[in-house]
């Protein structure tokens, strides 16, 4: 049985993504028809429309494409960043960068994904500055 044969059965793509996250895995979809990666989770490829989508482990590598800082009272945790990250596989996703001052997160920063915790305690993909973020990466 392939994923493609069961695209209309069982848990939907959002539920599958959440299940992987709960197991500590960051997976994205790969299209067997056009060879491109897909995120956000979908039933059909956003590039070619095929339902031959397969879940694969994401490399976790990416680069910050855009960043904004959300102001929040200090007693609520202080300001935090919201980023768009271009994954090495191609898709762009919204997330946050942890471990840096909110104003130290810059466009072009290389980042690495891990499964962290969302605002409601749910598992979610967050990013840390990559070890090579000192500028070695093009």
Binding site for Zn ion (CB under 5 A): 31, 33-34, 45, 47-48, 50
How far apart are CB 11 and Zn ion at their closest, in Å? 21
Nearer to Zn ion, 18 or 34 (CB): 34
- Cβ-based nearer residue to Zn ion, 48 or 104: 48
How far is residue 78's CA from residue 92's CA, in Å, rounded to a whole number?
26
Which of 11, 35 has the CB closer to Zn ion? 35
Count of beta carbons in the 10 Å neighbourhood of residue 26: 21
- 111, burial (CB in 10 Å: exposed 0-12, middle 13-18, buried 19+): buried
**Comparison of 33 and 100: residue with beta carbon closer to Zn ion:** 33
**CB of residue 21 to Zn ion, shortest distance in Å:** 23
Return the sign of the alpha-carbon dihedral for residues 85, 91, 94, 98: negative
Q: Smallest distance, Å, CB 42 to Zn ion?
A: 10
State the nearest-atom distance from the C-beta of 111 to Zn ion, in Å.
Answer: 26
Cβ atoms 125, 103 nearer than 8 A:
no
């Amino acid at each position: 049985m392939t994923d493609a044969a069961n695209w209309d059965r069982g848990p939907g793509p959002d539920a599958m993504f959440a299940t992987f996250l709960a197991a500590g895995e960051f997976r994205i979809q790969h299209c067997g028809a056009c060879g491109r990666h897909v995120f956000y989770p979908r039933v059909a490829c956003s590039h070619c429309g095929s339902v031959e989508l397969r879940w694969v482990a994401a490399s976790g590598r990416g680069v910050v494409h855009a960043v904004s800082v959300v102001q929040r009272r200090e007693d609520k945790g202080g300001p935090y960043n919201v980023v768009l990250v271009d994954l090495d596989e191609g898709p762009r996703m919204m997330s946050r960068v942890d471990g840096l001052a909110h104003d130290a997160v810059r466009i072009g920063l290389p980042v690495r994904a891990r499964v962290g915790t969302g605002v409601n305690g749910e598992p979610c993909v967050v990013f840390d500055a990559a070890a090579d973020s000192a500028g070695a990466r093009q």
